[in-house]
């Protein structure tokens, strides 16, 4: 047993569980024991244990009206509670199910029918894919709206990032799961096209994690009629996670756009505090795409034909009319991050898409191994210089 575990008495753990029960909402208090046990089993230090408990105590609250008394009925599901909404859909919880109700169609590249078909096809394969959310059923509700039904997951990576308390074990476990899911779908030439923290669902603060939100995914057969392989839609991705080849109009992009997004997400998670390395304005604001390009160039340096050779063939090239910023190494961009984590970021967040590691290659990286024990960021294991 680790020294830190031997110093934590049964009474200490009981007090932690009591504290969790006081913090969680009434219908979540039964989760306190599992949250504490999960933290105890998966932490390698007392600081990690405390961080995981803290993250669990900030588990997102359900709708103020519990699912037992909302009165909202969707198909056969009673007392549904709204937990999220967006431009094209609303998500409700009904007991252990999440219902994605499609409210707006024909907003390219969003396609709920294709989303359902992709997930059904993936889960019909042998072996069954791991770490990709399962679509349990689809139906039309009373208003003839398409409804996609999934297992309910209590939190997302976005929630965990907001808690600002992601531990080493959590980061390693979550990204190993996401890479497992990406490896499976990429082997079948499926591009997710919207990898971001809110698309990663978690059963608990330490996982398991599942890739969700396939509403804009590209499939080599199902998408070929509206989006041929070399003429794909460019309006994909979200904010800071958008890949540079898409920003410069390359319609022949591939699965590497997912790897760029994953690398940006990893850089965000391991930073202290956790923020993306690039800045992006909201999608509805003018100049959001130009602003993101400028932020990428400021952070990494303006690309050249040598650092981004494929861009020489783009209709819009990045080599002219741009301020020239000096090249920067990831050791300068993320100076306090553990070298192994930073190494994986550098292999994913690079201009030339063909140089990015594939999901299968990244899954073999040292940080995805179960025995890796290095710190994520300096702030997780030691006090920063000059801070008491």
| pLDDT tens, residue by residue, 114-169 | 999 999 999 999 888 989 999 999 999 999 999 999 999 999 999 999 887 787 77
pLDDT score at 344: 97
Q: Please state, in angstroms and rounded to a whole number, the distance separating the CA atoms of residues 53 and 40.
A: 9
Nearest-10 Cα torsion for 182, 188, 193, 196: -10
All domains of the chain in start order, with CATH: 81-151 (3.30.200.20), 155-381 (1.10.510.10)
- Give Cα 312 to chain centroid, integer Å: 31
pLDDT score at 81: 93
Q: Please state, in angstroms and rounded to a whole number, the distance separating the CA atoms of residues 354 and 310.
A: 9
Contact 315, 249 (CB under 8 A): yes
Q: Please state, in angstroms and rounded to a whole number, the distance separating the CA atoms of residues 195 and 173.
A: 17
pLDDT score at 218: 98
Q: What share of the chain is helix, strand, coil (3-state, %, to 5)?
A: 40, 10, 50
pLDDT score at 117: 97
Q: Please state, in angstroms and rounded to a whole number, the distance separating the CA atoms of residues 175 and 178.
A: 5
Helix-helix angle 256-270:168-187, to 10 degrees: 180
Q: Please state, in angstroms and rounded to a whole number, the distance separating the CA atoms of residues 212 and 106.
A: 20
pLDDT tens-digit readout, 338-384: 889 999 999 999 999 999 999 999 999 988 875 444 444 433 433 33
Contact 205, 50 (CB under 8 A): no
pLDDT score at 39: 80
Q: What angle do CA 213, 343, 336 make, to 5 degrees?
A: 100
pLDDT score at 60: 53
Residues of the chain with pLDDT under 50: 1, 61-65, 371-388
Instruction: Say what the pTM is.
Output: 0.81
Q: Please state, in angstroms and rounded to a whole number, the distance separating the CA atoms of residues 359 and 356.
A: 9
List, in sequence order, the alpha helices (H) in 188-336: 244-247, 256-270, 288-300, 330-333
pLDDT score at 230: 96
């Amino acid at each position: 047993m680790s020294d830190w575990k031997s110093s934590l008495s049964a009474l200490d753990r009981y007090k932690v569980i009591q504290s969790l029960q006081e913090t969680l909402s009434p219908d979540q208090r039964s989760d306190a024991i599992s949250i504490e046990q999960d933290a105890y089993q998966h932490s390698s230090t007392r600081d990690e244990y405390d961080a995981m408990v803290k993250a669990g105590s900030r588990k997102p609250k359900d709708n103020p009206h519990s699912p037992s008394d909302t009165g909202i009925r969707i198909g056969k599901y009673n007392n549904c509670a709204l937990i999220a909404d967006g431009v094209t859909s609303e998500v409700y919880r009904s007991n252990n199910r999440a219902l994605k109700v499609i409210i707006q169609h024909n907003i390219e590249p969003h396609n709920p029918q294709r989303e359902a078909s992709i997930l059904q096809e993936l889960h019909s394969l042998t072996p069954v894919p791991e770490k990709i959310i399962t679509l349990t059923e689809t139906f039309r509700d009373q208003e003839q709206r398409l409804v996609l039904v999934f297992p309910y997951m209590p939190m997302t990576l976005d929630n965990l990032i907001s808690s600002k308390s992601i531990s080493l074990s959590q980061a390693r476990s979550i990204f190993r799961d996401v890479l497992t899911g990406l490896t499976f779908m990429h082997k079948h030439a499926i591009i997710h096209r919207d990898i971001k923290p809110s698309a990663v669902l978690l059963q608990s603060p330490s996982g398991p994690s599942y890739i969700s939100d396939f509403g804009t995914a590209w499939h080599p057969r199902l998408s070929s009629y509206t989006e041929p392989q070399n003429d794909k839609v460019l309006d994909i991705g979200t904010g800071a996670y958008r890949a540079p080849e898409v920003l410069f109009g390359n319609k022949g992009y591939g699965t590497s756009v997912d790897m760029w997004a994953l690398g940006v997400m990893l850089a965000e998670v391991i930073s202290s505090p956790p923020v993306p390395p690039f800045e992006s304005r909201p999608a509805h604001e003018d100049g959001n795409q130009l602003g993101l390009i400028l932020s990428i160039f400021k952070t990494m340096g303006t690309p050249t034909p040598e650092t981004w050779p494929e861009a020489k063939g783009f209709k819009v090239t990045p080599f002219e009319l741009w301020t020239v910023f000096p090249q920067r190494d990831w050791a300068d961009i993320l100076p306090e991050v553990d070298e192994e984590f930073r190494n994986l970021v550098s292999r994913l967040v690079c201009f030339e898409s063909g140089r990015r590691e594939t999901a299968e290659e990244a899954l073999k990286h040292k940080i995805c191994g179960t025995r890796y024990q290095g710190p994520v960021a300096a702030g997780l294991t030691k006090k920063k210089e000059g801070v008491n």
